[in-house]
Structure formats: C-alpha cells, structure tokens
Chain A
Amino acid sequence: MSENLTEKEHTVNENYRQKPRVAVYVCHCGGNISDVIDVKRVAQELSKYPNVAVSREYAFMCSSTGQDYIVDDIRNNGINRVVVAACSPALHELTFRGALSRAGLNPYLYEHVNIREQSSWVHKNDKEGATVKAIALIKAGVEKILRQDPLNSIRVEAVHAAAVIGGGIAGMRAALSCADNGLEAVIIEKSDSLGGNLNRKGKVYPSNRQAFEVAGELSKKVLSNPNIKVYLNSEISFVGGYVGNFQVNGKKSDGKFEKVKAGAIIMATGFDHYKPQKGEYGAGLSDMVITLPQFESVFEDLDGKKFIFGGREISSVAFMHCVGSRQIDGLDKPGKNGKVNDYCSRICCTAAISAANRLKEKFPETAIYDIYTDMRTYGMEHEEYYKSASENDIIFFRRPLEERPQVEIKEGKIHIKTRDILTMNEEMEIETDLLVLSTGLMPRDISDLVEYMKLPKSADGFLQEVHPKLRPVECANNGIFLAGTVQGPMDIRETLQAANTAAVKAAALLSAPDIPLDPFVAVVDEDKCTGCGLCPAECSYEGALVMTEKDVKGKKKKVACVNPALCKGCGACAAVCQPRAINVAGWTLDQFDAMVEAIAKE
C-alpha cells in the first residue's frame, strides 16, 4: 500500500483546515423535487443555518451550469465543503465529487442528500411534510460534512496477471483478451483438455460450424500465445488474498501447479446441461426419448437417405422445449438443490429450431413437430431460424406454461398429448418416432470455489454480477469477474462478449502500477484501542481486521489492525467497540451523532 499522496491530492487537501464554509444546493430535478417540495423555502431556511455560507436552488444541478455553480463558489466564495440535495447518490454522487476535484477541493468533502426518493417521491401528497423533511435531511447533511476529514483513495499494488478459472470458450476468450491487453493470463482447467462444453460434435448457431472446430480454433490460439499459461487436469484447493493480490492454490496431489498469483480472477467455469429425471417428458421410458445434446452428437454422423436411429427408421421427430427451464414449483420435481429451475435457459429455443432445420435439410421427408411455450429465438438473425422452420413445414404447438404434455410409449411409438394455444386450446395428439428434449442450462456445482472466495450467488444458483446494467460481469468481490455461463444462461456469442468484457475490466483494473480503492474503510485510533479483540470476531471478511502487537507512543500494545484492501467498510467492528476506537472513514460515529441531533432538534 502506498501512503504517498500525488501532487494534486496534496494541494487539494489544504483548504479543509480553514474555517468551514458550507455551500448547499437544492436541485429541482426538473419538477421531480420542486413540484412537491418548496425548494425556495428550503434554500432560504438553510441559508440561515450555522456555517452555511451559500445556499442556492437550481433546476438541474447535474447539468454543466449546475456544476459550474459549485466550481465557481469554491473558487470565488471560499467554499470548502459542499452539500447537494438532489436525487439518489447512486446516480450523481460521483458527478459532484468530480466538480469538487475540478475546483481544487478534496472530493470527499462532499455530501449528497437524497431528497427525491426519500422525500418528494414518497410524500407526494404531503407537500408541507416533504419540505420540512427535506430541510431536516439537509441540515443533517451539513452537520455530517462539517465533521468530515478529507479522504484519499487507498492504493494497493497489483500483480499484473489474471487467473482464469475454467478453460472452455469463455475462459479461452478471456485469456486471449487479457493477453491482448498486456496482461499475463493463467488458465486453470479441471479436465484434460480445453474447450469445455464445446468439445463435442454437432453444429452450433449462428455460424452453423462444428462445436469442436470453434473450440479447437480458440485453443490453438491460446496454446500458441506466449502470455497465456495453461494448467490442465488441475483442481483448486484454496483461493485467498484481495484485489491486486490473489493467490490460487492447486491440489498438490496432481502436481500440476502449486500456486498462481494474480491481480484479478476471471470465473469461467461454465454450465451443466440439465438432465431430465426419469419419466419427465418420457425420459428414460424409451431409447427414443433423447436430449438435444444427444441428438446433436448422433445426427452429425448420419448420412444416407434415411434417418436411422436405434436401428429403426425415423420418419417423424418431435422437439420439446423448456425441459428443465421455466419450471413451476409444485408442478415439476425439484432438482438436487431442492429447487426448480424457474429461469429461461435462453439458448434452447434457437438450438432446437436450428437442429430441426438441419434435420429437414438432410431428411426432407421427415415430419417434424415442435412443442414450445414461448418462442424465444431472440438475438440477431435468430428469428430467421424460426421463420425458415415454419417455411420448412415444421408444425408448431404452443403449450400453456402451467401445463405439462403427457408422453406415453405405445407399441414403440411415442404418443404426446398437449394442449395447444395455437389450435384454440384444444388437446392435440401427436404420434412420433423420436422425441428430442431441448434441455436447459444448469449452474455447475462450484461450491468449493464459492466457499473459498465468498462469491455471491443469484436465486437461480448462478454467480451474480453487481448490476446487470451499471456494473456487468463484475462480481461484488473486488477484482473478480464473471465470464460467460457461470453467470447465467448465454449463447456462444454472448458468452464470448461477456468473456471479452471481463478480460477488459481486469486489464483496466490492473493498468496502473497500483489500484485505487474507495477510502470508506475502518480506521483504528490506536490511542483509544484497548485491545479487547471484540471487533475481529465481528468481522466477516477474512484478513480485513486482525489484532497485532504494535509500538504505540513508545509502548508495546495489542491493537486492532485493518487491511484496507480487504475491508468492505460495513461498520460491524465500529458497532461493538465501546471506547469508539474504531470508525469507518467518512461515516464516523461522531458524524452520525451530529446528524441525529440535527434531525431531532425541532
């Protein structure tokens, strides 16, 4: 960690020592706030508040004019602390911190008060109450910022390498992109070859190329890249460390690798195909009921004029969608984890239709049925598959989501009964030689890795990104990125895009010699610390808070010690510290006291 401040940081730190002069800005948010809250009154009220030197209201504080007010007041009116009362801090806190920086003020001497979500939107029908509440919230904000220390981002040194866990197409693509961006990449793969789920026969949409060819082409590039190291047959026994300094340990027994050091980890462990339970849509009742991956592997080897499968000539084939996807509690049997898969697996509609089209091309006389719930051939050009399928006279049946088609085997033929929305909800009887179940995608069991890294999972059991729009592929754990289907069902194109994104994020993170982190972490006042040891017991982040022997003012003393890179700033430690020796920077207990005081005053 580097304690050295940059030159700019040094200069902007000086002005906080002067007598506090707070500026308050009340944003109208184009009516979102000002239609309910009397913003003029709020500004006037705040202008009388102690230490407030400037109080203004404006239509859009986030606009460049609004931001210019802040910059101008800092430069010309001696303002050294700023409060903006506006929307949610998630939206514009960084915007206004930026304005402070531009004006030469420490960006953390800024307080964002949310009077939109917390006042005008929730108290639409009580204008007076909303106004009074806004005033109280802003006063609390002023009190808080008066007690704010100028903070600086924490910097940690970083290893310029990424550990990629999983050597499927996501892992390979991510490793290649890391290498392209100047990072070293290490692929750790459990099996004996690269390629993962694509190491199989069968064509994949939208290129209609053989799966193993696509995987093979990528693995050739990976293996010939000097910046990528590949460990096959390798299992992981432990993952530790923090952003910039991860350490991945291998299971020593296989002797392949012991230790990999990396600044970032890219999770690319992929998915498992759903395995239908016995009796589910006829699975296991006949050899003529197979899954789509099984169909693909058989189909590629077929040639000649007749479709022979299991020693029989096949003249009709039915495809069943949503097997193991969009399941309903109580209707479908739960899997091993005790849950049903209620998500859509996204790829199976297009995959089934693309297979049906290829079948029709190879054996034009085959009658093909397709039983779906909702046709989700989303994505560029995928609708074309659906279109040509209907032009190919593939007969579609749309079943209600909450009904399950009945499959029976009679005299070697498969009989399917299904309600069909397209035929005015009538029950249809379909007789077919072969039934292909278009199975969904399942989260792969990576519970050991999840345990080592404390990775967050979604309700569906896949790993979860922080926010699908604001922070895609980023894991809540700093420095860990999600590539491909480890995060949810995706097709190959999306997987590769996610893998690229993960790699680029890792590269961006590790682009400077050290990594800046938010300064809102626990800080210990060693004078006050009694060494009682209550706080580390509360801490849920391994290595973030430990007790150490230290030299404090000449005396050897046992005190709490924070690793700022691992601390998440949750405040659990501060809550148990009786002498108030430990505080979260930017959110100290003194600040909270003053805020409560300000709100409770009247």
Chain B
Amino acid sequence: MKVNPNFLKEVKKYGAFDISKCFNCGNCTAICPLSAQDASFPRKMIRYAQVGAEKEIESSLEPWLCYYCGECSDTCPRQAYPGEFMMTLRRYLIAKYDLTGISAFFYRFPWVQNLLTIGIFAVSLAFFLSYTGDFQELAAKIELAFPVYVTLAIAAYVFTFYRKTILEKAKKFVLSINFSNIKETLIHGLTQKNFAGCSDTDWTRWIAHLFVMSGYTLTLVISNLHLLEPLKVQYSVSEFRTFLVFYAASAIILGGFIMMFRRAAKKVQSSSFSHSSDWLFVIMLFLIGLSTLSAHISNIILGPEDKIVELLYKLNIAVEVAWIIVIVPFTKWIHIFFRPMAVYLRNLKKEEAEGKALAFSLPFIK
C-alpha cells in the first residue's frame, strides 16, 4: 500500500479537525456496537485516511453503516472524535461520488450553497409573483420536471457508488436477488433500524429521523404525482388528501424542529459538530413542511381563490424549487439512498464471496 501524506489534509477539508490526535488504539472500534468483522470501523477508516489509502476509503461501505451514536467519541482517550470523522468521511465520499464536483465545492465553500439557495428561492418567488398566466398550470409543469432532474442525479450517484465499492474490485457486474437481502435493505431504508443497533438507543433522534424521512417521502409523492391543486380545488378537513398533507407536513415540522433544537443545544455527540450544509438541509426541510401545511390550511379556510392562499402556495413552490436545484443533487441529501444501499451492497459482497451472487461480465470492464 503506497503512503500518501497529503490525503489526510484533503479529508480534513470536510471536517474532522481533531483526527490527527488519533494514535490507533482501537477503543472506538471496540466500543462500537455496529462495527463487525466484515465492516470494521472507525479505527480502520481513520488509519486508511492517515496513511492516505484513498482507494480503500473510496471503496468502503463502512461510513454508511455508522449511525453516529457517538460512543466512540465519548470513549476516545485522545479526544480525536472518531464519530465526527465518520461523518466527515460521508461528506468526503459524497463529494467524491458527485461527478459534477459541485458537492465538493459546496462543502468547502458552504456560503455559496447558502447564497444560491436564497438566490434561487428569491428569483423564483419574484418570477412566480409577477407571473400573469395560470400559476397552477406552471406549478404542474415544474413538479413534473422535478422527478426527471432528481432521478438523473440519483442514478449518477448510485452508479458511482456501485462502481467504486463493487465494480472496481469485482471487475464484473454482480447483483443480489436474494429475497432476505432485498427485504433487509427495504426495512433499513424505511425504518433506519440500525439506530437501534447503537447500544443506548437515542429514541428521540430515531423518531425525529423517522418523522422527517416519512414526511418527506410522502411530500415527494404528493408533489411528484401533482396531487394538490390548491389554486383550483377547495379541500376539506375530512378528505384523505388533507390527511396525507397534514401527516407529511407536521412530521417534517416536528422532526425538523427536534433536529434543529438538538443541533443548537449540542448535548449529544451526533449533533455537536454541525456543518453549514447540515443546517441548510434541516432548515429547508422545515420550510417545505411549513409552507406546504400553511398553503393547505389556508386553502381549507379561505378557498382556492384567496390571495393569501396564492401567496403561500407560490412560497411553497419557490422553496421546493430551491431545494430541488441546489440541495437534492448536492451534499447531504443522497445519504437517504446511500444508507440502505450500503446494507444491500454489504450483503452482496458476502454473497459474492460465497459465489452466490448473480454475476455477469461486460466486455468493456476489465
């Protein structure tokens, strides 16, 4: 393994200022309830970073199997904050897997992402407010464009992730069609069950996460299927759509509020070191929930013709535009996909080692 002394400097640009203090004792790995024989962390990851084993880092699933309970940081005899290092690695990997290089740029110059978000929000809102045509129609088109844009971004990420972690090592396409693996992956994706693997389960964090995740997914569905037309239709309290919107929006608001509160309070390791992108992510989510909910409630009370409803709806769409363009494809958002994928790929690796995975080679991959 070739030693590269400059690699750690690169990683440090994404956080983890204290990781140099690590003297490789391994207490972090010993205390970690999620670290396992085939996925050993944080020590191994820290060591790879220290000696500059770039390839090993970029092909590892471990960062996504860590759920940052923070026990390692509490136990570290050198105050090197291994938990925060794992978080940093996730940022680093997203930056590396982002083929456009924009995530790397945003992580290093977070104010650009912040300004862009505000800028795009302001421009869209100004445009929407001055728009004289049928805004409901325009909103429908915008919401139709979202899934195309997002799917492209996700596909690029997912393929890069697969290429770095599996393809470059196995030199062939392998897939797992094992039912239990697919089931496990889905369960993890939907419930973040790994949170319970941390020995003192941080229930508040898990529940806040679940709220935000389920609320956000539901919002995606509502918006992508263009289920709401608040400028045309008068909704009532008792209908099913209202129930969906109420759940989705309040879950995001409640979960987002808890997250913001915890990041501000810095009482536990996992929310002690917030990167600017973490704040932006949670604040924007919170605003999506808030604008969706207020637009819907005002529609129920005031009806689709009302100016206030129109304003709130335009605000809602403007927030979503900024969110989709600047936040979803860059920095933190993709972790929603990477986490369950890591579970899937870890099982795939096992199956491949046992020769049970579905494998097919392609001529252009050597």
Are B1 and A422 within 8 A (Cβ)? no
A393-B1 CB under 8 A given contacts A423-B47, A428-B51: no
- What does the 1/0 interface line of A367-397 toward B look like (CB < 8 Å)? 1010000000000000000110011110111
Residue among B1, B2, B21, B50 making CB contact with A395, cutoff 8 Å: B50
A398: B residues at CB distance < 8 A? 24
Are B5 and A316 within 8 A (Cβ)? yes
Main secondary structure of the interface of A (DSSP, over half): strand
Most chain A CB atoms below 10 A, which of B5, B44, B48: B5
In the assembly, what is the distance between CA of A393 and CA of B44, in Å? 17
Are B1 and A429 within 8 A (Cβ)? yes
User: From residue 202 to 233 of chain A, which have CB atoms closer than 8 A to chain B?
Assistant: none
Interface: A549 (CB within 8 A): no
Are A391 and B5 within 8 A (Cβ)? no
User: From residue 194 to 231 of chain B, which have CB atoms closer than 8 A to chain A?
Assistant: none
In the assembly, what is the distance between CA of A431 and CA of B1, in Å? 11
B24: A residues at CB distance < 8 A? 396, 398, 422
Q: Which residue of chain A has its CB nearest to the CB of B44?
A: A424
User: From residue 78 to 121 of chain B, which have CB atoms closer than 8 A to chain A?
Assistant: 78
Q: Which residue of chain A has its CB nearest to the CB of B22?
A: A390
In the assembly, what is the distance between CA of A424 and CA of B53, in Å? 12
Interface: A411 (CB within 8 A): no
Are A423 and B21 within 8 A (Cβ)? no
Interface: B3 (CB within 8 A): yes
Interface: B23 (CB within 8 A): yes
Are B22 and A423 within 8 A (Cβ)? no
Interface: A303 (CB within 8 A): no
In the assembly, what is the distance between CA of A429 and CA of B1, in Å? 6
In the assembly, what is the distance between CA of A390 and CA of B22, in Å? 7
Interface: A430 (CB within 8 A): yes
Residue among A316, A422, A431 making CB contact with B47, cutoff 8 Å: A422
Interface: A527 (CB within 8 A): no
A427-B1 CB under 8 A given contacts A391-B20, A392-B20, A422-B47: yes
Interface: A602 (CB within 8 A): no
Q: How far in angstroms is the closest Cβ of chain A from B174? A: 25
Q: Which residue of chain B has its CB nearest to the CB of A316?
A: B5
In the assembly, what is the distance between CA of A424 and CA of B1, in Å? 11
B51: A residues at CB distance < 8 A? 395, 397, 420, 423, 428
A431: B residues at CB distance < 8 A? 2-3
Q: How far in angstroms is the closest Cβ of chain B from A138? A: 55
A392: B residues at CB distance < 8 A? 20
User: From residue 316 to 337 of chain A, which have CB atoms closer than 8 A to chain B?
Assistant: 316
In the assembly, what is the distance between CA of A430 and CA of B51, in Å? 10
Are B23 and A396 within 8 A (Cβ)? yes
A390-B23 CB under 8 A given contacts A427-B1, A428-B1, A429-B2: yes
Interface: B252 (CB within 8 A): no
In the assembly, what is the distance between CA of A391 and CA of B53, in Å? 19
In the assembly, what is the distance between CA of A420 and CA of B44, in Å? 13
Residue among B2, B21, B22, B47 making CB contact with A424, cutoff 8 Å: B47
Interface: A254 (CB within 8 A): no
B251: A residues at CB distance < 8 A? none
A316: B residues at CB distance < 8 A? 5
In the assembly, what is the distance between CA of A81 and CA of B227, in Å? 112
Interface: B253 (CB within 8 A): no
Most chain A CB atoms below 10 A, which of B3, B20, B21: B3
A396: B residues at CB distance < 8 A? 23-24
In the assembly, what is the distance between CA of A387 and CA of B22, in Å? 9
In the assembly, what is the distance between CA of A423 and CA of B3, in Å? 11
In the assembly, what is the distance between CA of A252 and CA of B78, in Å? 61
Most chain A CB atoms below 10 A, which of B21, B24, B78: B24
Are B8 and A369 within 8 A (Cβ)? no
Interface: A426 (CB within 8 A): yes
- What does the 1/0 interface line of B33-74 toward A look like (CB < 8 Å)? 000000000001001101101000000000000000000000
In the assembly, what is the distance between CA of A391 and CA of B23, in Å? 10
Q: Which residue of chain B has its CB nearest to the CB of A367?
A: B5
Q: Which residue of chain A has its CB nearest to the CB of B40?
A: A424
Are B3 and A428 within 8 A (Cβ)? yes
Are B20 and A430 within 8 A (Cβ)? no
Q: Which residue of chain A has its CB nearest to the CB of B23?
A: A390
In the assembly, what is the distance between CA of A189 and CA of B282, in Å? 76
Q: How far in angstroms is the closest Cβ of chain A from B161? A: 24
Q: How far in angstroms is the closest Cβ of chain A from B224? A: 45
B20: A residues at CB distance < 8 A? 390-393
In the assembly, what is the distance between CA of A367 and CA of B8, in Å? 12
Are A387 and B1 within 8 A (Cβ)? no
Are A369 and B3 within 8 A (Cβ)? yes
Q: How far in angstroms is the closest Cβ of chain A from B151? A: 39
In the assembly, what is the distance between CA of A420 and CA of B3, in Å? 11
Q: How far in angstroms is the closest Cβ of chain A from B33? A: 21
In the assembly, what is the distance between CA of A426 and CA of B6, in Å? 20
Are B2 and A393 within 8 A (Cβ)? no
B23: A residues at CB distance < 8 A? 386, 390, 396
Are A395 and B47 within 8 A (Cβ)? no
Q: Which residue of chain B has its CB nearest to the CB of A424?
A: B44
In the assembly, what is the distance between CA of A431 and CA of B24, in Å? 22
A391: B residues at CB distance < 8 A? 20-21
Are A426 and B3 within 8 A (Cβ)? no
- What does the 1/0 interface line of A402-422 toward B look like (CB < 8 Å)? 000000000000000000101
A369: B residues at CB distance < 8 A? 3, 5
User: From residue 268 to 326 of chain A, which have CB atoms closer than 8 A to chain B?
Assistant: 316
Are B21 and A390 within 8 A (Cβ)? yes
Residue among B1, B8, B9, B78 making CB contact with A423, cutoff 8 Å: B1
Q: How far in angstroms is the closest Cβ of chain A from B45? A: 11
In the assembly, what is the distance between CA of A430 and CA of B78, in Å? 26
B21: A residues at CB distance < 8 A? 387, 390-391
Are A430 and B3 within 8 A (Cβ)? yes
B53: A residues at CB distance < 8 A? 423
User: From residue 1 to 32 of chain B, which have CB atoms closer than 8 A to chain A?
Assistant: 1-3, 5-6, 8-9, 20-24
Q: Which residue of chain A has its CB nearest to the CB of B5?
A: A367
Q: How far in angstroms is the closest Cβ of chain A from B270? A: 24
Q: How far in angstroms is the closest Cβ of chain B from A383? A: 10
Are B1 and A426 within 8 A (Cβ)? yes
A420: B residues at CB distance < 8 A? 51
B6: A residues at CB distance < 8 A? 367
Are A429 and B3 within 8 A (Cβ)? yes
In the assembly, what is the distance between CA of A369 and CA of B8, in Å? 14
In the assembly, what is the distance between CA of A260 and CA of B9, in Å? 64
B8: A residues at CB distance < 8 A? 393
User: From residue 579 to 601 of chain A, which have CB atoms closer than 8 A to chain B?
Assistant: none
- List the interface of chain A (C-beta within 8 A of B): 316, 367, 369, 386-387, 390-393, 395-398, 420, 422-424, 426-431
| Shortest 6 CB-CB contacts between residues of A and residues of B | A367-B5, A422-B24, A430-B3, A429-B2, A393-B20, A426-B1
A-B contact pairs, 5 of them (CB 8 A): A393-B9, A397-B51, A426-B1, A428-B2, A429-B3
